[in-house]
Amino acid sequence: MKAGQPPVVAVDGPSGSGKGTVSRQLAVSLGWHYLDSGALYRLVALSALRNRVDLADADRLAALAANLNVRFAPAGELERIYLDDTEVAAELRTEQAGEAASRVAAVPVVRAALLQRQRDFARWPGLVADGRDMASVVFPAATLKVFLTASAEERAMRRHKQLKEKGIDVSLPDLSWDIAQRDARDANRAVAPLRPTPEAHVIDSTSLPPKEVVARILEWLAAVGVEIERA
């Protein structure tokens, strides 16, 4: 057992910035654990929709968040997320779950209920934590803080492509509008708004493939003295 806290890379940014892909690839390349914090908010939302809990009922939402029975497959494997032993990864990625998650994520008691659960993901040899408030709230002492962005048009296009591949047909203008609405809600909410912390490395992925973003993060990690044992 090593002494001290395991290293944490916080990767924050808006939907479609490529955070998920980059964070997964980074975790695999380092052989570290991976936290998809957005999935936790989506799980609370899904659980609320399934149990017909009103999305304005903060206390019941917080109770759902505190009692989530969830299990994730490791980052290098096919994405599988179990809620009460049912596999829900595809259902979590729907626009309906995303929209509900954005509402649920604006409820302070829900965020508080998920805080310790997220911190518990920090285990040796290290953690890549992906979300909106990883650097500002959940892991303020993170070893490295990265804020990933991309233009709103590029993010809408990426999302459109993803949905099309899944056979879901949504118009690009509708999607752009949804993304802009969600960005505004995430950036302007009273608790843990989406914003880069002053010490974050900001990187624009509009015309940068995930592999290059990962390479840059690995360089920054080496520069802060993290010993990288490549998996």
Q: Which residue is nearest to ligand DC (CB)?
A: 38
CB of 105 to ligand DC, least distance (A): 3
| Residue with smaller CB distance to ligand DC, 81 or 221 | 81
For residues 105 and 41, what is the distance between their CA atoms, to the nearest angstrom?
Answer: 6
- Please say which residue, 30 or 101, places its beta carbon nearer to ligand DC: 101
Q: How far is the CB of 181 from ligand DC (least distance, A)?
A: 10
Q: How far is the CB of 182 from ligand DC (least distance, A)?
A: 5
Q: Are 41 and 114 in contact (CB under 8 A)?
A: yes
CA angle 204/206/207 to nearest 5° reads: 105
Binding stretches for ligand DC (CB under 6 A): 15, 37-38, 41-42, 98, 101-102, 105, 131-133, 182, 186
The CB-of-98 to ligand DC minimum distance in angstroms stands at 5
Distance in angstroms (rounded) separating the CA atoms of residues 202 and 16: 15
Do the bridges between strand 81-83 and strand 70-72 make them parallel or antiparallel, or are there none, so unpaired? antiparallel
Between 11 and 214, CB nearer to ligand DC: 11
Based on CB atoms, which residue is closest to ligand DC, 21 or 37? 37
Residues 11-48, buried b or exposed e (16+ Cβ, 10 A)?
Answer: bbbbbbbbbbbbbbbbbbbbebbbbbbbbbbbbbbbbb
